[in-house]
């Protein structure tokens, strides 16, 4: 059923855009107009698949991280992963190469560095509960990397590199090519695959350390595997899409609300919902206005409104004493 | 079944020593109660028995082998834990939570199968909480929560059970339920070790007593050997009487009120 909805949204999205006229391309045009076929095959298809994967990966990473860190307010962005990826991608664009694989590897490296930094810092803070410490260190590490990105922007050539960097930071899939997608695909599939096969186990990783240990979890190893897989996938996609916020925070909440707390159901559900959400948001991004609206702006706006709704309707429960 | 030899433990080289030269043999198929003042190392001792903490010196044995000779999963099929308190950040249903007890029997990429579901249902029934199966764990009472922990250990199917203050914060009826379950388990061939601050709860449920003080064992043995006014008054530094009421041993504070 959910897969059918994903398929339906995917098929419909192929026809949504602003060519030859706003909003909808009739099937007849696709059959008769060679330019329309080129547009769908070369631009819209890779873009759509990337949107689907992006939503799935961010939601899977969000669910996994919320459970591993025992904190329903965690999302990749909070722990510096997104800013780390942005920094890594910018470093590569400016100083190394614009080859998609190198950009993605650099983004992945700095994401993992940011995550490790945020986690380490949270263990060194001597006050506050676990939730507070983690959020504080995530904010600090994010700020460091975003300052780093600022420096790189300052150093960038204002005519060639800066506009590209700036628009990229706002997040968008307008320039995705098959080649970009091809390089991100292995990371994305690995992240989605590992999260999917560990969907029941991740419940165990959300328990107290002593309990999870007594139930046979090798906590360090299992958490690391899941984190590396989902963070690499997030970074690889962020490297081609720019920073897309809020999906990783809000979609896991909605999935838990509908399908219950156990990640056995809520994690695959979050992946499908995330895929649908990000495809629809991207449809809006390329059709609402004559120019492209950066996807990151749209997901933030919609995500924030949903978040406010969930908060006031008690959909999000945080236990402040932890 | 479970024993410790010459254990020394401290959390950090600069921290005070928590346990020193501690040796203990836990009798099999019995309930053992570990008593002692706050901060005397009871929970640390329990975590060493579990294998969670590794002592600086000394050896720990379980079922004829040292703890480190078992894999994580093998050990968790032998020893189960009922923690004193567990914060659960996500609102699992009681059933989903109890089913996690099957983890030691599955690899990290496996989902629970029909047999696992059956075992979880049976465990809920044995613990008398089948009616709570669909309830969210965050919305049940403290006593019910403790029964849920016990049902999870049943699901785990271990022959050794470690309980950290299982009756703390529970009303008398729930205390009675938990302690009766423990006695039944020991009668059925399980080995249980519980820490407790309540000597009367220990006397009710346990067959073997360990009284700890300042990281060492002050007394161990039967109720008559361990639960004496001299031992208790000395360690708790407050006058304590031990009386027989209708054939039952009772620990009573010597001033006012019942302990």
pLDDT tens-digit map of B16-34: 899 999 999 999 999 999 9
**Chain B residues close to A217, C-beta within 8 Å:** 72, 103, 108
Contacts of residue A191, defined as CB under 8 A and 6 or more positions apart, other chains included, come to A57, A60, A61, A229, A230, A231, A232, A233, A234
Q: Clarify whether residues B72 and B172 are in a common domain.
A: yes
Q: Clarify whether residues B72 and B188 are in a common domain.
A: yes
Q: Do A207 and B92 touch (CB under 8 A)?
A: no
- Counted domains in chain B: 2
Q: Supply the DSSP symbol for A180.
A: H
pLDDT band at residue A320, thresholds of 50, 70 and 90? very low
Q: Do A214 and B76 touch (CB under 8 A)?
A: yes
Over 80: is that where the pLDDT of A182 sits? yes
Comparing alpha-carbon positions, the chain A residue that sits nearest to B137 is A261
Residue B232, domain member (yes or no): no
Say whether A114 sits in a helix, a strand or coil: helix
Domain ranges of chain A: 2-312
Determine contact: A220 vs chain B, CB below 8 A.
no
Nearest CB to A214; choose among B80, B90, B108: B80
Q: Clarify whether residues B67 and B192 are in a common domain.
A: yes
Q: Which of residues 49-78 of A touch B (CB under 8 A)?
A: 67, 70-72
Per-residue model confidence (pLDDT) at position A228 = 87
- Mean pLDDT is lowest, of A102-111, A142-151, B211-220, for A102-111
**Chain B residues close to A67, C-beta within 8 Å:** 90
Per-residue model confidence (pLDDT) at position B193 = 97
Q: Do A210 and B50 touch (CB under 8 A)?
A: yes
Q: Clarify whether residues B122 and B139 are in a common domain.
A: yes
**Chain A residues close to B47, C-beta within 8 Å:** 210
Q: Clarify whether residues B126 and B198 are in a common domain.
A: no
H runs (alpha helix) in B157-228: 172-187, 199-205, 223-226
The CA distance from B159 to A190, in Å, is: 39
Nearest CB to A198; choose among B79, B86, B109: B109
Residue B233, domain member (yes or no): no
Q: Do A72 and B96 touch (CB under 8 A)?
A: no
Q: Do A261 and B90 touch (CB under 8 A)?
A: yes
Q: Clarify whether residues B27 and B148 are in a common domain.
A: no
**Chain B residues close to A206, C-beta within 8 Å:** 89-90
What does R_g of chain A's alpha carbons equal in angstroms? 20
Q: Tens digit of pLDDT for each residue in B140-184?
A: 988 899 999 999 999 999 999 999 999 988 889 889 999 999 999
Over 50: is that where the pLDDT of A300 sits? yes
Percentage of residues of chain A with pLDDT beyond 70: 96
Q: Clarify whether residues B153 and B166 are in a common domain.
A: no
**Chain B residues close to A322, C-beta within 8 Å:** 87, 89
Nearest CB to B73; choose among A67, A216, A322: A216
Q: Clarify whether residues B43 and B153 are in a common domain.
A: no
**Chain B residues close to A262, C-beta within 8 Å:** 92-93, 96
- The whole-number average pLDDT for the span B198-222 is 94
Q: Clarify whether residues B134 and B173 are in a common domain.
A: no
Q: Do B93 and A261 touch (CB under 8 A)?
A: yes
Contact between A133 and A73 (Cβ < 8 Å): no
Q: pTM value?
A: 0.88
Say whether B255 sits in a helix, a strand or coil: coil
Nearest CB to B81; choose among A72, A210, A256: A210
Q: Clarify whether residues B144 and B112 are in a common domain.
A: yes
Residue B242, domain member (yes or no): no
Over 60: is that where the pLDDT of A96 sits? yes
The structure tokens listed for B177 are 């339920």
Q: Clarify whether residues B168 and B152 are in a common domain.
A: no
Over 70: is that where the pLDDT of A319 sits? no
Over 70: is that where the pLDDT of A202 sits? yes
Say whether B164 sits in a helix, a strand or coil: strand
Q: Which of residues 254-273 of A touch B (CB under 8 A)?
A: 256, 260-262, 264
Pick the CATH number of A2-312 from 1.10.1740.10, 1.10.3470.10, 3.40.50.300, 2.70.98.10: 1.10.3470.10
Contact between A184 and A178 (Cβ < 8 Å): no
Range of the domain at B193: 1-78+159-227
- The whole-number average pLDDT for the span A20-44 is 78
The CA distance from A288 to A295, in Å, is: 12
Q: Clarify whether residues B205 and B173 are in a common domain.
A: yes
Sign of the alpha-carbon torsion through B97, B103, B106, B109: positive
A-B Cβ pairs (cutoff 8 Å, strict): 91
List % helix, strand, coil for chain B (3-state, nearest 5): 40, 25, 35
- The whole-number average pLDDT for the span A202-219 is 92
Nearest CB to A206; choose among B73, B90, B111: B90
Write down which residue in B115, B130, B157 finishes a domain.
B157
């Amino acid at each position: 059923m959910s897969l059918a909805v994903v398929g339906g949204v995917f098929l419909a999205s192929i026809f949504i855009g602003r060519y030859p006229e706003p909003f909808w391309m009739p099937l007849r045009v696709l059959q008769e107009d060679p330019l329309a076929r080129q547009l769908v095959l070369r631009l819209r298809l890779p873009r759509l698949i990337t949107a689907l994967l992006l939503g799935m990966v961010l939601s899977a990473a969000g669910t996994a991280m919320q459970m591993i860190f025992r904190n329903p307010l965690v999302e990749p962005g909070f722990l510096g992963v997104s800013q780390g990826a942005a920094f890594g991608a910018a470093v590569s664009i400016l100083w190394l190469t614009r080859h998609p694989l190198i950009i993605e590897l650099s983004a992945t490296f700095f994401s993992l560095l940011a995550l490790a930094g945020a986690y380490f810092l949270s263990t060194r803070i001597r006050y506050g509960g676990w939730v507070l410490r983690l959020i504080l260190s995530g904010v600090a590490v994010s700020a460091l990397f975003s300052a780093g990105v600022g420096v790189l922007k300052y150093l960038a050539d204002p005519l060639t590199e800066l506009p590209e960097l700036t628009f990229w930071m706002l997040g968008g899939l307008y320039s995705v090519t098959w080649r970009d997608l091809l390089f991100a695909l292995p990371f994305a599939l690995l992240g989605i695959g590992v999260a999917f096969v560990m969907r029941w186990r991740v419940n165990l990783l959300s328990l107290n350390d002593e309990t999870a240990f007594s139930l046979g979890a090798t906590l360090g190893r299992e958490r690391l595997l899941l984190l590396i897989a989902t963070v690499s996938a997030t970074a690889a996609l962020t490297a081609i899409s720019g920073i897309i916020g809020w999906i990783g925070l809000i979609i896991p909440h909605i999935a838990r609300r509908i399908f219950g707390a156990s990640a056995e159901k809520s994690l695959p559900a979050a992946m499908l919902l995330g895929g649908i959400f990000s495809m629809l948001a991207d449809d809006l991004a390329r059709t609402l206005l004559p120019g492209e609206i950066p996807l990151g702006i749209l997901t933030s706006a919609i995500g924030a409104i949903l978040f406010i709704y969930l908060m006031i309707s008690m959909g999000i429960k945080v236990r402040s004493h932890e | 079944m479970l024993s410790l030899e010459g254990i020394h433990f401290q959390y950090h080289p600069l921290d005070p020593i928590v346990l020193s030269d501690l040796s203990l043999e836990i009798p099999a198929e019995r309930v053992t109660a570990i008593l002692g003042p706050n901060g005397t190392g009871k929970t640390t001792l329990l975590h060493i028995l579990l294998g969670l903490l590794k002592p600086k010196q000394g050896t720990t044995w379980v079922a004829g082998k040292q703890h480190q000779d078992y894999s994580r999963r093998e050990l968790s099929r032998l020893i189960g834990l009922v923690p004193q308190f567990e914060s659960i950040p996500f609102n699992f249903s009681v059933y989903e939570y109890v089913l996690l007890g099957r983890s030691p029997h599955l690899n990290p990429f496996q989902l629970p199968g029909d047999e696992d579901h059956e075992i979880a249902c049976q465990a809920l029934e044995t613990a008398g909480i089948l009616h709570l199966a669909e309830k969210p764990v965050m919305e049940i009472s403290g006593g019910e929560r403790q029964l849920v922990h016990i049902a999870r250990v049943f699901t785990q199917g271990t022959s050794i059970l470690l309980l950290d203050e299982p009756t703390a914060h529970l009303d008398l009826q729930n205390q009675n339920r938990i302690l009766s379950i423990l006695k039944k388990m020991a009668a059925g061939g399980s080995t249980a070790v519980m820490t407790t601050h309540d000597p009367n709860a220990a006397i009710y449920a346990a067959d073997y007593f360990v009284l700890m003080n300042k990281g060492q064992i002050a007394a161990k043995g039967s109720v008559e050997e361990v639960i004496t006014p001299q031992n208790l008054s000395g360690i708790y530094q407050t006058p304590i009487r031990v009386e027989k009421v209708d054939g039952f041993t009772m620990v009573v504070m010597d001033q006012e009120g019942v302990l």
